[in-house]
Amino acid sequence: MQMLQPVGGDLAADDLEAAYAYPLERTWLRLNFVATLDGAVVDAHGHPEGLSSASDQEVFALLRGLSDVVLVGAGTARAEQYAPVRPTEVDQDMRARLGLAPLPPIAVVSTSLDVPESLLDAGDDRARTLVFTADSAPGGRRAEVADRAEVLVCGDRSVDLVAVRETLGARGLRRVVAEGGPHLTQALFSAGVLDEFCLTMSPMVIGGAGSRLVAGAALDGPVRMRLGHVLVAGDELLMRYVREGA
């Protein structure tokens, strides 16, 4: 893997870690996605892994390894059968060196509390799942999920992502990596809580009417981003953009 911007050259493992290091002084929320040249986030069979590569998976694992918490929308968690992060999925030595907990928990955003069973009952070797919901969530389902995960109410009719960010920060979970899906991406941009967008550009075109990077209502206005860096691996580009003012 090589860096094209801001400076050129081959990257060692330490260089890659430094390129994606979190700011230490405050909560920082980054989004990580892989997409095709025409913006598709799933392949022709509806699977995101069809777009990924060894380099993308390396960065995916690094971003999880650098984080305090992994944030995901319930729809993506169901479609991809998310499970609590396993010890083998992140670099344990790096996390110990950085003073992080052994494993980052998964935090799911769900108004309906339709959370996949694979995320509940984490077990002794994995972090307990956090579920962010709204006060309007069904009471019976809330009690059921609360027996098997930690339920946090942020908002009345829908989940307030500003409150989610503040809650995570207050718990010391300040290094946040969001992994989609497209509706959560739209909501993060709309709420103004996203600091950074990491995008792997897969060198293919899918076409069709499948999921794209952002789904939902139009934003009030464009969100301006500045380029942090560009990495190249074969025909693939791995880009990091930072929100203006972040």
Q: What is the DSSP string of 186-226?
A: HHHHHHT---EEEEEEES----TT--BS--SSPPSSPPPEE
Predicted confidence band of residue 8 (pLDDT cuts 50, 70, 90): confident
Q: How many CB atoms lie within 10 A of CB 240?
A: 20
Note the pLDDT tens digit of each residue in 82-135: 999 999 999 999 999 999 999 999 999 999 999 999 999 877 789 999 999 999
Can you read off the two tokens belonging to residue 172? 């010391």
Cα 38 from chain centre: 21
Of the listed ranges 67-71, 104-108, 137-141, the least confidently predicted one is: 137-141
Give the pLDDT mean for 164-177. 97
| Whole-number Å distance between alpha carbons of 128 and 234 | 38
- Global model pTM greater than 0.75: yes
- Block residue for tokens 């718990």: 171
Residue 121: what pLDDT? 81
How does strand 106-109 pair with strand 130-133? parallel
Residue 157: what pLDDT? 94
Mapped onto helix, strand or coil, the DSSP state of residue 231 is strand
**From 3.40.430.10, 3.40.1080.10, 3.20.20.70, 1.50.10.20, which CATH number describes the 27-243 domain?**
3.40.430.10
Residue 182: what pLDDT? 92
In 9-154, where does DSSP find H-type helix?
Answer: 13-19, 54-66, 74-79, 92-97, 139-146
Note the pLDDT tens digit of each residue in 142-167: 999 999 999 999 999 999 999 999 99
| Whole-number Å distance between alpha carbons of 235 and 162 | 37
Query: Is the pLDDT reported for residue 219 higher than 90?
Result: no
Backbone angles phi, psi at 17, to 5 degrees: -60, -45
Query: Is the pLDDT reported for residue 28 higher than 90?
Result: yes
Residue 214: what pLDDT? 86
Mapped onto helix, strand or coil, the DSSP state of residue 237 is strand
Task: Using alpha carbons, select from 132, 87, 86 the residue that is nearest to residue 107.
Answer: 132
State the Cα angle at 36 between 71 and 114, rounded to 5°: 30
